[in-house]
Amino acid sequence: MVLYGIVVPLPKPSFTRSEQTIISFDPSTNRMSDAASRRRRGDYVFVVNPKGANGRTGKEWKKLLPYLRSRVGGDCNICESITSGPSHAIDITREAIREGVDAVIAVGGDGTLHEVVNGFFWEGKPVLAHDQGAKRSTALGIIPLGTGSDFARTFCWSAMAGYYAGRYKRFGNLCYVFGALRAFMGHRNQDLKIKVDGGEWEVYSDVTALCIGNAKYFGGGMKITPTADPCSRNLEVVILQNFKWLCSESNE
């Protein structure tokens, strides 16, 4: 197992790989191949944000790790990589891909996933493995254990988070609700000129929020762009207008 604990410079990862012998069937001879072929065990790097969901990601991960080892540890090398701060997940991911690992799995919320996805690219181009280049591809995985984990929710992948993190997820969602309410307390609606897709400029009065999304959820499960589809290559634009506190209405 590899454990990173330093931000910069990153220690060069030394992913341990173990070889496993498999016996192959040769259809031309209808015999089991005498020469046993060698199959490399996959290297899966789990990039864990211990501070996600107010520290609960780290705690849940500690419980999940033995389970993962027991379920898939025989088939792959499970490498745990703990992030030490913002952007560290990007560096870990890039380094892991360059080392030729088979999968990088983001363990945390949307922020961690965002960093891991960015780690797949460097200067606008995909990061490649040092030795095998484009021949080798690295899969991206996610274990949604963040406060909102809205990306996973969009694909209905939050069941696992719901199972492991069900106790605190509702608090996470409430955090977003409280945050939104607090933000709205000092909020003033604005008139906005908006132009979409090269169309005409249009004036929208009393705009409360302009939401642009390629996925349905935001802020821990708020369906803010309800028909957005991440596979459509389109962004959905939702304009919320004329938000008022009931009490302020009665004062007018």
Ligand X SMILES: Nc1ncnc2c1ncn2[C@@H]1O[C@H](COP(=O)(O)OP(=O)(O)OP(=O)(O)O)[C@@H](O)[C@H]1O
Instruction: Tell which residue, 212, 222, 144, has the closest CA to residue 176.
Output: 222
Active site residue 110: yes
111 binds ligand X (CB under 6 A): yes
Q: How many residues bind ligand X (CB under 6 A)?
A: 20
141 binds ligand X (CB under 6 A): no
Task: Give CA–CA dist 141/15, Å, rounded.
Answer: 18
Task: Give CA–CA dist 123/16, Å, rounded.
Answer: 29
3-state DSSP assignment of residue 57: helix
Task: Give CA–CA dist 210/112, Å, rounded.
Answer: 25
User: Which element (helix H / strand E) includes 58?
Assistant: helix 56-72
Angle at Cα 10 formed by Cα 4 and Cα 14, nearest 5°?
A: 60
85 binds ligand X (CB under 6 A): yes
φ, ψ of residue 144 in degrees (nearest 5): -75, 100
Among 64, 92, 97, 109, interactor with ligand X by CB under 6 A: 109
- Set 43, 91, 102, 110: catalytic member: 110
- The region of 38-46, 133-141, 144-152, 237-245 touching ligand X under the rule CB under 6 A is 144-152
Which residue number, 76 or 143, has a Cβ lying nearer to ligand X?
143
84 binds ligand X (CB under 6 A): yes
Q: Which residue is nearest to ligand X (CB)?
A: 109
Among 4, 13, 46, 49, interactor with ligand X by CB under 6 A: 49
List residues binding ligand X (CB under 6 A): 49-53, 83-86, 88, 108-112, 115, 146-149
Residues identified as active-site: 110
